[in-house]
Amino acid sequence: MPPAILSFPKSAPRPLAEDAVRLTGATKGFGQKTLFEGLALTIRRGEFVALLGASGSGKTTLLRVLLGLDSLDAGSGEVTAPRAAVFQEPRLVPSQRVWRNVLMGVPRARQSRRLALDALSEVGLGASADAWPVTLSGGEAQRVALARALVLEPALLLLDEPFAALDALTRLKMQDLVRRLCDRHTPGTLLVTHDVDEAVRLADRVLVLRDRRITLDATVGEAREGSTPAGARLRAQLYSELGVDTFVPGAADHAPHAPGGAQA
């Protein structure tokens, strides 16, 4: 088996002018179970890619590989630096005030309260700079985590189901915020999720990881709106790809989606 190479440039010169991630022949498994095999993935700078997959499909492992937390069994690739991540949990340090948490990834020489405050006001939390993390709500804590990632001006932003633990209304607001900030900062973004609507709502490109490979790679484009035929078609396709065949919201004209899931 060829040695697994995934290089992580440490300093400023960015070798990938266009691409944030380049992965070829990537293979990874645990024990007897292979999660993905010979996988190829390219994410361009400024591109928002959503990776869909059922639980246990290996999508989070792929993200961990890109973060350098797991290594590949085979294959090679490159990711740009700086990288930053937002996880499902905020993962803030409880013993540090909010603004200190924001500076977690900033080199000591560049750390300043000003920098943290700017990042916090970008996520609408300028007033909470001196709060302790335990006093924040789930949505606020997650926004701090977002500020902590964006303050690094990442070339690659990795999002591991960052909205999963939020309530429905907070989730929508947070999704809009993430999309807006990604448009402004233009990192290459990989969002790992199992939520089809979320993926289509946010991403430029949606991938499905299933049976150890990427089985679908669709550009969202016109299909973002669920009410359009293209939107309905893409969603139906994604659900079907994820093995949810019975529920196709608004896809078929002869069976309009009725409240309560009424059947003929």
56: part of which helix (H) or strand (E)? Answer: none
> Among residues 34, 71, 121, 135, which is the contact residue for another protein, using CB under 8 A?
135
Residue 252 interacting with another protein (CB under 8 A): no
Least Cβ distance, residue 93 to another protein (angstroms): 6
Query: Any contact of residue 93 with another protein (CB under 8 A)?
Result: yes
- Residues paired with residue 23 on neighbouring β-strands, in sequence order: 41, 77
**Of the listed pieces 25-33, 66-74, 136-144, 194-202, which binds another protein according to CB under 8 A?**
66-74
Query: Which residue's structure tokens are 């909010």?
Result: 98
Interface size with another protein, residues (CB under 8 A): 22
Residue among 24, 71, 95, 112 that touches another protein (CB under 8 A):
95
x/- mask, another protein, residues 145-164, rule CB under 8 A, reads ---x---x------------
Q: Is there a contact between 83 and 67 (Cβ–Cβ < 8 Å)?
A: yes
Q: What is d(CA 29, CA 31) in angstroms, rounded to the nearest whole number?
A: 6
Closest distance to another protein from the beta carbon of 94 (Å): 5
CB of 138 or CB of 226, closer to another protein: 138
Closest distance between another protein and the C-beta of residue 214, in Å? 24
CB 132 within 8 A of CB 94: yes
CA angle 230, 182, 168 (to 5 degrees): 65
Report d(CA 37, CA 29) in Å as an integer: 8
Per CB under 8 A, does 96 bind another protein?
yes
Q: Which stretch binds another protein (CB under 8 A): 81-89, 191-199, 202-210, 251-259?
A: 81-89
User: How does 107-145 read in b/e, with b if 16+ C-beta sit within 10 Å?
Assistant: eeeeeeeeebbebbebbebeebbeeebeebeebbbbbbb
Rounded CA separation 53/118 (Å): 35
Say if strands 205-210 and 213-219 run parallel, antiparallel, or are unpaired. Answer: antiparallel
User: Which lies closer to another protein via its Cβ, residue 137 or residue 228?
Assistant: 137
According to the binding rule CB under 8 A, does residue 41 interact with another protein? no
Smallest distance from another protein to CB 85, Å: 5
Binding site for another protein (CB under 8 A): 67-69, 83-85, 87, 89, 91, 93-97, 104-105, 132-135, 148, 152
